[in-house]
Amino acid sequence: NGYQIPSQGTRVIQLDINAEEIGRNYHVQVGLHGDVRETLRAMVGQAAARDGNKAWLARVAELVQTYKEDSSEHYNSDVSPMRPERLCKELSNCLPEDAILVSDTGHAGVWCAQMIDLKSPNQSFIRAAGSLGWALPAAMGAKCAAPDRPVICFTGDGGVWYHMTELDTARKAGINTVTLINNNHSLNQEQGGIEGTYGQRSAASDAHWLFPEVDFVRMAEAMDCFGVTVNKPSELEGALEQSLNAGKPAVIDVKTHIEGIADRAWMPE
């Protein structure tokens, strides 16, 4: 949310595989033409001998630890239904080392960005982009581009409704993604705005963001896809393994706590 074009006079280094893009939109101090992965590998080797950033790195490590401590109550919670923070913890621990994780927009994007740790350099994260629901078809695209890698779409029950029927396309085309649904039977990211409009919760306001309980597993199976329900943290790893080995598109319906509302950006004191 804080992105902006560098102000006049800012010293900018731009690395791009397309030389035509370098300096196209604003003046750059240094232009680097090359593949990001290979160029950074070469630069890291030269930077390893430098120790000028020790204080900054120590501060970053301190802030990361503080953030984890601030989030530990829900991150380690055993309540049922599961807290979304705990879901993210379990997914971090069992995500395949070569997985591509595709995050939906809205709260799904916040959960992924704040709570999921990628633990292998071979894992890829496609961040929230586009309108709500985009992640399911985006995951299908990622799977087409990298058919040998496991692709997991992280969405909510609010987001999955937009393109759920594309599972039929995925099944017919053999695009075997895994769609993980953070299912709290609501679009609770809208709760605050609606309560602000109405002034308080009421049956009329609840009707705007509460959903009936829907069996997404049965919906997946009706399209000849694989489906599995997760009610407890300990069940997620097995469910993900089953889904990745199903030989068809899969849906993991994770029952989560409706009070799990994503925080705004964390700021240190």
pLDDT band at 268, cuts 50/70/90? confident
Please tell me the distance from the alpha carbon of residue 139 to that of residue 174, in angstroms, as a whole number. 13
Listed residue (107, 100, 98) closest to 188, CA to CA = 107
**Rounded to the nearest 5 degrees, what angle is found at the Cα of 35, between the Cα atoms of 34 and 40?**
95
Instruction: Name beta bridge partners: 209.
Output: none
Q: What burial class does residue 150 get, using C-beta atoms within 10 Å of its C-beta: 0-12 exposed, 13-18 middle, 19+ buried?
A: buried
pLDDT band at 165, cuts 50/70/90? very high
SS3 call for 106: coil
Torsion angle in degrees (nearest 10) through CA of 223, 225, 226, 229: -40
Q: pLDDT digit string (tens) for 7-43?
A: 888 899 999 999 999 998 888 999 999 999 999 998 8
Question: Domain ranges in the chain?
Answer: 13-50, 79-255
Q: pLDDT digit string (tens) for 181-226?
A: 999 999 888 877 777 777 777 787 788 788 888 999 999 999 999 9
Listed residue (124, 221, 126, 123) closest to 171, CA to CA = 221
> Which pLDDT score is estimated for 1?
44
> Which pLDDT score is estimated for 3?
61
Q: pLDDT digit string (tens) for 86-142?
A: 999 999 999 999 999 999 999 999 999 989 999 999 999 999 888 999 999 999 999
Task: Identify the residue with better confidence: 60 or 204.
Answer: 60
Collect all residues with Cβ–Cβ distance below 8 Å to 25 and sequence separation of at least 6. Answer: 5
> Which pLDDT score is estimated for 170?
98
pLDDT band at 162, cuts 50/70/90? very high
Mean pLDDT of 253-266: 87
Left (φ > 0), alpha (ψ -120 to 50) or beta: where does 213 sit? beta
Q: pLDDT digit string (tens) for 67-91?
A: 888 889 999 999 999 999 999 999 9
> Which pLDDT score is estimated for 196?
75
> Which pLDDT score is estimated for 263?
78
Q: Does CATH place domain 79-255 in 3.40.50.300?
A: no
Torsion angle in degrees (nearest 10) through CA of 185, 189, 190, 192: 120
C-alpha separations of 73 from 28, 86, 97, 113, 192 in Å: 45, 9, 27, 18, 22
Q: Report the chain's mean pLDDT, rounded to a whole number.
A: 91
pLDDT band at 2, cuts 50/70/90? low
